[in-house]
Amino acid sequence: MTDLTSLTLADAREGLAQKSFTALELTDAHLAAMEKARVLNAYVLETPEQARTQARAADATIAKGGAGPLAGIPLGVKDLFATTDVRATACSKILGNFIPPYESTVTSQLWRDGAVMLGKLNCDEFAMGSSNETSAFGPVVNPWRREGSDTNLVPGGSSGGSASAVAANLCLGATGTDTGGSIRQPAAFTGIVGIKPTYGRCSRWGIVAFASSLDQAGPFARTVRDTAILMRSMAGHDPKDTTSVDRPVPDYEAAIGKSVKGMKIGIPKEYRLDGMSGEIDKLWAQGADWLKAAGAELVEVSLPYTKYALPAYYVVAPAEASSNLARYDGVRYGARVNGKNIAEMYENTRAAGFGPEVRRRIMIGTYVLSAGYYDAYYLRAQKVRTLIKKDFEDVFAKGIHAILTPATPSAAFGIGEKGKADPIEMYLNDIFTVTVNMAGLPGIAVPAGKDGQGLPLGLQLIGRPFDEETLFSLSEVIEQSAGHFTARKWWA
């Protein structure tokens, strides 16, 4: 029998339906792979008992008939999602051993549809980072290595555990969240597919909040089809999240293989950065050629406010974070460090509980919101955000169906290589992804090629609001042309 962990989600679904193997066998194969891959540090908590219980239940429903669309499919969950009776930490010390008594809406929909939870996945602390190096559980290792090198590389962030686990066959798919690029950038760094849906498509209820007006959950998987399958279960209206949108969830999988003939693809000239590596430029041109060969029309477009997106994001996101993270006070959740009085207890708890990057964001956020600076920073950033959104609206009003850009300005880098002296070096990773969050649009990253050192590179497609289907159709064309990318197995 082929290794069950290397199946696509769609093939595993087929194998389960045909009774070629059981959900328990599929789950056990993944649990065994996870055990052998602990050097990757992708999981911060393995939940084998729960997984086997869910797998047995899935086998029973498959035998009876009427199983859900994800029956018996083993998944990993980013540790930002609340999971009933299973520790959720946002990979921060401040949550300590927090065991939520409730389940996030997105994960509850996955279990409703029969999926199996293998465990909780590592991420940057409170999802703040681009390399998964800010996690209280230590960095995640990318399964990919440069040719001829044994240097450990980052998987990207903040959903680095999710990306690494999917790329190393430690689950068939995983949940992630994306506030400024945290699904798309790690997907690109690990040679897999990740989609950030339109803001409001998935409920944020039960997901640890970072920047509420930007946060959105989405899936990772090894193929475009597999992400489409997962999206259908994750999406949907939820009265518990007032920003979630009440519109029907389409059958995203039906978009796979649909013709893209006649579609207009925008190529934004502002995404051609000074000093960008020639490899990224070549990949971008190659992606455009593949879409053209499939019948799409390429149109140069302009998104003039792009250059302000990153600075505006690093005002808006910390501002919201400083407010969201005020709740971690040593009283309600997790860790507490006592002091002489309550104010000192707050200070001690927060100083001990938050890592340096989170502290930096809270300080920036508090500063830009404070009296006297609010207008100059926060209000101004919000105005820029409106202009960024308008840039996209103008492009889509010209009949453009989707926009093609690189996903990241480089391939994965070494652990400890970036952002030490200057955090901005790390922030620059999100240069192609943050605009999409600022505008609330859907964006997908799909592997498209490799760099000169053999590392995967991704392209991004940005869509109209709630038109994820077009992104699935177009990215599948790129996937068909580029093929699949599998890391050489060195970790087990």
Distance of CA 358 to the CA centre of its chain: 19
Q: Does 467 bind ligand GLN (CB under 6 A)?
A: no
Which among 159, 169, 161 has a CA at the least distance from the CA of 196? 159
Which among 30, 414, 478 has a CA at the least distance from the CA of 286? 478
Q: Which of residues 415-434 bind ligand GLN (CB under 6 A)?
A: 430
Nearer to ligand GLN, 121 or 291 (CB): 121
Report the distance separating Cα 265 and Cα 271, nearest Å: 14
Say whether 259 is catalytic. no
Considering the complex, what minimum distance in angstroms separates the CB of residue 356 from ligand GLN?
Answer: 13
Question: Residue written as tokens 């990757």?
Answer: 40
Segment near ligand GLN (CB under 6 A); pick from 82-90, 180-188, 304-312, 415-423: 180-188
Nearer to ligand GLN, 78 or 222 (CB): 78
Report the distance separating Cα 441 and Cα 468, nearest Å: 9
Nearer to ligand GLN, 4 or 321 (CB): 321
Q: 220 phi and psi, to 5 degrees?
A: -115, 140
Residues touching ligand GLN, count (CB under 6 A) = 13
Q: Does 81 bind ligand GLN (CB under 6 A)?
A: no
Say whether 158 is catalytic. yes
Q: Does 317 bind ligand GLN (CB under 6 A)?
A: yes
Q: Does 182 bind ligand GLN (CB under 6 A)?
A: yes
Amino acid at 120: K
Binding mask 201-230 for ligand GLN (x = CB under 6 A): ---------x--------------------
DSSP state letters, 122-175: --SGGG--SSS-S-TT-PPPPS---TT----B---SSSHHHHHHHHTTSSSEEE
Q: Which of residues 84-143 bind ligand GLN (CB under 6 A)?
A: 127-130
Four-residue CA torsion sign, 225, 117, 131, 98: positive
Nearer to ligand GLN, 182 or 190 (CB): 182
Binding ligand GLN (rule: CB under 6 A), the pick from 178, 320, 451, 479 is 178
Asked if omega into 158 is within 30° of 0 (cis), the reply is yes
Say whether 104 is catalytic. no
Q: Does 180 bind ligand GLN (CB under 6 A)?
A: yes
349 to 88, 97, 247, 358: CA distances (angstroms): 18, 14, 42, 14
Considering the complex, what minimum distance in angstroms separates the CB of residue 217 from ligand GLN?
Answer: 11
Binding mask 145-174 for ligand GLN (x = CB under 6 A): -------------x----------------
Other beta carbons within 10 angstroms of residue 144's beta carbon come to 25
Q: What is the DSSP letter of 445?
A: E
Considering the complex, what minimum distance in angstroms separates the CB of residue 193 from ligand GLN?
Answer: 17
Considering the complex, what minimum distance in angstroms separates the CB of residue 103 from ligand GLN?
Answer: 21
* Active site (catalytic) residues: 78, 158, 182
Residues near ligand GLN (CB under 6 A) are 127-130, 158, 178-182, 210, 317, 430
